[in-house]
Chains A and B, each alone.
Chain A
Amino acid sequence: MERKLMKGNEAVGEAAIAAGCRYFFGYPITPQNELPEYMARRLPEVGGTYLQAESEVSAINMVYGAAGAGARVMTSSSSPGISLKQEGLSYLAGAELPCVVVNMMRGGPGLGGIQPAQSDYFQATKGGGHGDYHLLVLAPAYVQELVDLVQEAFDLADKYRNPVMILGDGVLGQMMEPVAITKYIDPRDLPKKEWATTGASGRRPNLINSLYIDPVELAAHNRKLAAKYQRMCREEQRFQEYCLEDAETILVAYGVMARICRSVVDMARHSGLKWGLFRPISLYPFPGDALYDRAKEAGVRRVVTAELSCGQLIEDVRLALDGLVPTELLAYPGGLVPSPAEVFRQAKSERGALNGCSA
Chain B
Amino acid sequence: MAVQHEKRVFGYPSSLTDAPFHYCPGCTHGIAHRLVAEAIDDLRLKEHTVGVASVGCSVFTYNYFNCDMQQASHGRAPAVATGIKRVSPETIVFTYQGDGDLASIGTAEIIHAAARGENITVIFINNTNFGMTGGQMAPTTLPGQKTTTTPLGRDVKKAGYPLRVCELLSALDGPAYLARVSLHSPKEVLRAKKAIRKAFETQVAGAGFSLVEVLSTCPTNWGLPPKKALEYLRDEVAKYYPLGEFRDGPREVEACSTR
Known: A54-B112, A207-B62. A197 touches B84 (CB 8 A): yes
A45-62 to B contact mask, C-beta < 8 Å, 1/0: 000010101110111011
Verify B86–A62 contact, CB threshold 8 A: yes
State the CA gap A57–B72 with chains docked (Å).
12
Known: A69-B88, A198-B91, A207-B62. A64 touches B72 (CB 8 A): yes
**From residue A148, how far is it (CB to closest CB) to chain B in Å?**
26
Nearest-CB residue, chain B, relative to A68 = B70
Verify A200–B62 contact, CB threshold 8 A: no
**Which residue from B48, B84, B108 sits with its C-beta under 8 Å from A65?**
B84
| A323 interface residue per 8 A CB criterion | no
**From residue A229, how far is it (CB to closest CB) to chain B in Å?**
22
Interface size class on chain B is 20 to 34
A67-83 to B contact mask, C-beta < 8 Å, 1/0: 11111010000000000
Chain A residues whose CB sits within 8 angstroms of the CB of B86 once the complex forms: 23, 49, 51, 62, 65-66
Chain A residues 157 to 193 lying within 8 A of chain B, measured CB to CB, are none
* Nearest 4 A/B pairs, CB to CB: A65-B83, A61-B79, A66-B83, A197-B68
Q: How many residues of A contact B (CB 8 A)?
A: 39
Chain A residues whose CB sits within 8 angstroms of the CB of B48 once the complex forms: 199, 201
| B183 interface residue per 8 A CB criterion | no
Verify A64–B88 contact, CB threshold 8 A: no
| A205 interface residue per 8 A CB criterion | yes
**From residue B33, how far is it (CB to closest CB) to chain A in Å?**
15
State the CA gap A201–B92 with chains docked (Å).
13
| B82 interface residue per 8 A CB criterion | yes
| A316 interface residue per 8 A CB criterion | no
Please list 20 pairs of residues, one from A and one from B, whose beta carbons are closer than 8 Å in the complex, sorted by A's number. A57-B76, A59-B79, A64-B73, A65-B82, A65-B84, A66-B84, A68-B80, A68-B84, A69-B50, A69-B87, A87-B73, A91-B72, A197-B50, A197-B68, A199-B88, A202-B47, A205-B67, A206-B69, A207-B62, A209-B71
Chain B residues whose CB sits within 8 angstroms of the CB of A320 once the complex forms: none
Chain A residues whose CB sits within 8 angstroms of the CB of B83 once the complex forms: 23, 25, 61-69, 73
Verify B109–A88 contact, CB threshold 8 A: no
**From residue B175, how far is it (CB to closest CB) to chain A in Å?**
16
**From residue B52, how far is it (CB to closest CB) to chain A in Å?**
7
| B81 interface residue per 8 A CB criterion | yes
State the CA gap A49–B119 with chains docked (Å).
15
**From residue A127, how far is it (CB to closest CB) to chain B in Å?**
16
| B66 interface residue per 8 A CB criterion | yes
Verify B112–A58 contact, CB threshold 8 A: yes
| A211 interface residue per 8 A CB criterion | yes
| B172 interface residue per 8 A CB criterion | no
Known: A58-B79, A70-B87, A71-B87. A208 touches B49 (CB 8 A): no
Known: A57-B108, A63-B83, A67-B83. A197 touches B69 (CB 8 A): yes
Chain A residues whose CB sits within 8 angstroms of the CB of B112 once the complex forms: 53-54, 58
**Which residue from B69, B71, B108 sits with its C-beta under 8 Å from A55?**
B108
State the CA gap A283–B245 with chains docked (Å).
54
| B238 interface residue per 8 A CB criterion | no
Nearest-CB residue, chain B, relative to A209 = B71
**Which residue from A53, A55, A64, A88 sits with its C-beta under 8 Å from B70?**
A64
Chain B residues 171 to 212 lying within 8 A of chain A, measured CB to CB, are none
| B27 interface residue per 8 A CB criterion | no
Verify B67–A53 contact, CB threshold 8 A: no
State the CA gap A190–B217 with chains docked (Å).
47
Nearest-CB residue, chain A, relative to B70 = A208
**Which residue from B62, B68, B69, B87 sits with its C-beta under 8 Å from A23?**
B87
| B29 interface residue per 8 A CB criterion | no
| B46 interface residue per 8 A CB criterion | yes
Chain B residues whose CB sits within 8 angstroms of the CB of A69 once the complex forms: 50, 83-84, 87-88, 91
A266-301 to B contact mask, C-beta < 8 Å, 1/0: 000000000000000000000000000000000000
**Which residue from B52, B71, B87, B108 sits with its C-beta under 8 Å from A58?**
B108
Chain A residues whose CB sits within 8 angstroms of the CB of B109 once the complex forms: 54, 57-58, 61
| A354 interface residue per 8 A CB criterion | no
